[in-house]
Amino acid sequence: MAKKKNLSEVTQVHLREPGRVRIAVVTSSWNPEVTGVLEQGAVAYLSEQGITPGNILVEKVPGSYELPLAARLMLNRGDIDGVVCLGCIIQGETRHFEFIAQAVAHGIMEVNLQATAPVSFGVLTTDTHQQALDRAGGKHGNKGIEAAAAVVSMLALKQKMETTL
């Protein structure tokens, strides 16, 4: 079986009352030629799922390191059902990449586990700028779409669990 290259082929998820769902998309401003495409993909996917444009709150943060706090702030509003975190960290000549990538992954995981709402990790961690472009609408799809699909899928699971209790 051939390995699937474009993983951004996601399926329709059926949310209960998608027009009432509010999703925050928090995007790092660092590497905007990459993160902007991730954001566009995430917003388009959320719209395709029936979430109204007015219920998709898009915010920018300086870099990927700020994504976990931004996700927590969004959830603290009390009216956000899920958060899509988008960023791009590209390997440089120093170990800075390792520290930032690990801190961001751990931070988003902590927010996700502590929250009663889904938070996705849509942060590219690549060796090169080209690898990032390949995953931001290039030959490997758009990981922003995948991150948005993860939030919607987990939100649908949450809705299902709430109705079975």
Of the candidates 96, 106, 129, 140, the residue annotated as catalytic is 96
CATH architecture of 20-164: 3-Layer(aba) Sandwich (3.40)
Which H helix or E strand runs over 54? none
Spell out the domain ranges in the chain. Answer: 20-164
Query: What are the tens digits of pLDDT across the range 59-113?
Result: 999 999 999 999 999 999 999 999 999 999 999 888 888 999 999 999 999 999 9
Distances in whole angstroms, Cα of residue 10 to Cα of each of 7, 40, 42, 139: 8, 16, 12, 15
Q: What's the pLDDT tens digit per position in 15-65? A: 889 999 999 999 999 999 999 999 999 999 999 999 999 999 999 999 999
Q: Is 96 a catalytic residue?
A: yes
- The dihedral sign for the CA sequence 27, 74, 58, 112: positive
| Helix ranges restricted to H, the chain | 32-48, 67-76, 96-114, 129-134, 143-164
Which pTM does this prediction carry?
Answer: 0.92
